[in-house]
Structure formats: C-alpha cells, structure tokens
C-alpha cells in the first residue's frame, strides 16, 4: 500500500481503531476523511487533527450510503483508499429470540461495507494506485460465543475480502484485510478501554503501520497478538483452542 499522498476515507473514524488509523495516516501526510454516525466523536477527532475532514452517515441505511458515496466522489475526486472499519459489537443470548441486535450488527458490519464498496468501486478502479482495506477480527477465526453475530459478520468479511481481491486481481485496486486482536477500545463498552487483557490501542496502531510500511506486498495485516487466533485452525488444535478461549472468557466475564 502506498503510505503517503493518498486521499483516504475511513469509516468509523471517530473513535477506537478507526480514529487511531485516521490519525496515523494523517501524520504520514495523507488527506484523511473520517465518517460515521457519531457527530461529536467525529468533530473531536477533526479538532485534534487540523486538516482532517469528517462527514456523518448511517451505514445501516442503504440509501444513505448511496448519497454519501456520491457526495464523497464529488467532494474528493482524488479518493484512492477506503478503509472499511465501521462496526458494532454486542453480546447476545440466542435463547431470547430477540433479533434486533443481530440485525443491526449484520446491517452495519457486513451490508455496510459491501454497499459502500459497490458504490465507490468505479472511482477506485479509475485510479493508478488504489486500496480497499477491510477490517475483520481475530474472532472471525475463533469466535467468541457471547457475541455470535459479530463473529459471524467478521468471518463473512474475511470471506468477502478474499473474493473481492480475486475479482479485482487484474485492476490497480489492492485489497487488504486488517485482522485486529482484542484491543483497548470501547467497542463492547467503557470497561474494554482499560481491560489489561486487551492490547493497548497505541501499540496496535504502531505495529499495524510498521507492517504496512515494511511488508508492502502483504494482504493480511496481523499483529503478533492476533496470530494464535488466525492460525488456530491450521494448528490442528482448533477444538481445544475454541473451548479454552470461550471457557476463559466465560469464567472471567470479559471479552478476550
């Protein structure tokens, strides 16, 4: 991935991993636009990073995504990088029969990136160098049973990314997948921000940027901390890893 002189759109850029990536790419000299539903978080991020731009959009709304994509194409015709980071994560009990959370998670985490990719692909294909980066999760490879729909959407994003990469193999659009571990953000609530079991956000962003800079041909960005999850199935001990992972999480009443 070209690391400088890009025009980069980052969804979910007002907080957490999205904000961390936005600030890191902004510091590298890129033109960064952040988007998401939280107006206050977007404004705070832009205020802390002069020159960064923001726009509010609801990624669960298909029509809003089309309007947003058209606005982006008009306002930022140099757009050549899209980082599909926006997502929500909620614990669910499958025995309640309540599907509201599941449907919101699918709309945001899966349909949102697919719809936005479709809307922006024409402008990206027209560029001499372009990148689409999806953001999945280590939980795409070893799911956390307490968050079943979140994990399912991230597994689907991994699969979608592979197909997207293959279909675009003869274009100038590079397709990358960022696979985070459990990171100190507020994805599951304020407690996650200080959970000692989670990787500090600053460390995650630093290692991610280092990988992007020093391994330009890489297609999956995996920091060291996520590799046990990413490689669990290949290890031949998947069932053991899955049980230990979920038993430990259930026992500690926390997300690992």
Predicted pLDDT at 1: 92
Predicted pLDDT at 76: 97
Q: What is the arithmetic mean of pLDDT over 189-215? A: 95
DSSP symbols for 173-210: EEEEEE---SBSSSTT-GGGGG-TTSBPHHHHHHHHHH
First to last CA, the chain: 30
* C-beta separation of 158 from 165 below 8 A: no
Q: Which residues pair with 220 in a beta bridge?
A: 177
Q: What is the arithmetic mean of pLDDT over 84-106? A: 94
User: What are the structural domain ranges in the chain?
Assistant: 7-252
The residue written with tokens 């407690």 in the block is 191
pLDDT over 80 (residue 170): yes
pLDDT over 50 (residue 247): yes
Surface-to-core class of residue 50, CB atoms within 10 Å of its CB (0-12 exposed, 13-18 middle, 19+ buried): exposed
Q: Interhelix angle for 112-125 vs 62-75, to 10°? A: 30
Predicted pLDDT at 209: 98
Q: What is the arithmetic mean of pLDDT over 45-54? A: 97
Q: In whole angstroms, what is the distance from residue 220 CA to residue 212 CA?
A: 10
* pLDDT class of 57 with cuts at 50, 70, 90: very high
Q: What are the structure tokens assigned to 155, written together?
A: 């597994």
pTM of the model: 0.95
Residues with a known catalytic role: 150
Predicted pLDDT at 253: 63
* pLDDT class of 135 with cuts at 50, 70, 90: very high
Q: What is the arithmetic mean of pLDDT over 41-70? A: 96
Q: What is the arithmetic mean of pLDDT over 5-23? A: 97
Predicted pLDDT at 255: 44
Q: What does DSSP say about strands 81-84 and 173-178: parallel, antiparallel, or unpaired?
A: unpaired
Q: Which of 159-163, 194-198, 220-224, 248-252 has the lowest mean pLDDT?
A: 248-252
Q: In whole angstroms, what is the distance from residue 120 CA to residue 123 CA?
A: 6
SS3 150: helix
Class of the CATH domain delimited by 7-252: alpha beta
- Tell me the Cα Rg of the chain: 18
Reference 106, options 43, 53, 183, 160; nearest CA is 160
Predicted pLDDT at 15: 95
* pLDDT class of 256 with cuts at 50, 70, 90: very low
Mean pLDDT of the chain: 95
The residue written with tokens 């290890």 in the block is 235
* pLDDT class of 251 with cuts at 50, 70, 90: confident
Percent of the chain with pLDDT over 70: 98
Percent of the chain with pLDDT over 90: 93
């Amino acid at each position: 991935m070209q690391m400088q002189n890009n025009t980069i759109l980052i969804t979910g850029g007002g907080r957490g991993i999205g904000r961390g990536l936005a600030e890191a790419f902004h510091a590298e000299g890129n033109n960064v636009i952040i988007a998401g539903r939280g107006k206050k978080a977007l404004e705070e991020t832009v205020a802390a990073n002069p020159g960064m731009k923001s726009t509010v959009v609801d990624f669960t709304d298909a029509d809003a995504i089309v309007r947003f994509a058209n606005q982006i194409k008009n306002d930022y015709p140099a757009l050549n990088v899209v980082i599909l980071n926006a997502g929500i994560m909620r614990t669910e009990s499958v025995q309640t029969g309540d599907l509201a959370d599941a449907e919101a998670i699918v709309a945001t985490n899966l349909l949102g990136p697919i719809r936005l990719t479709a809307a922006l692909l024409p402008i990206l294909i027209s560029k001499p160098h372009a990148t689409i980066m999806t953001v999945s999760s280590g939980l795409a490879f070893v799911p956390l049973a307490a968050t079943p729909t979140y994990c399912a959407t991230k597994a689907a994003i991994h699969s979608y990314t592979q197909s997207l990469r293959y279909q675009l193999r003869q274009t100038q659009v590079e397709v990358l997948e960022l696979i985070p571990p459990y990171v100190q953000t507020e994805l599951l609530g304020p407690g996650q921000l200080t959970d000692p079991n989670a990787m500090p956000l600053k460390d995650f962003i630093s290692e991610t940027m280092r990988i992007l800079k020093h391994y330009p041909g890489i297609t999956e960005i995996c920091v060291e901390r996520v590799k046990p999850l990413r490689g669990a199935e290949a290890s031949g001990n998947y069932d053991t890893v899955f049980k230990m992972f979920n038993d430990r999480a259930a026992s500690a009443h926390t997300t690992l």
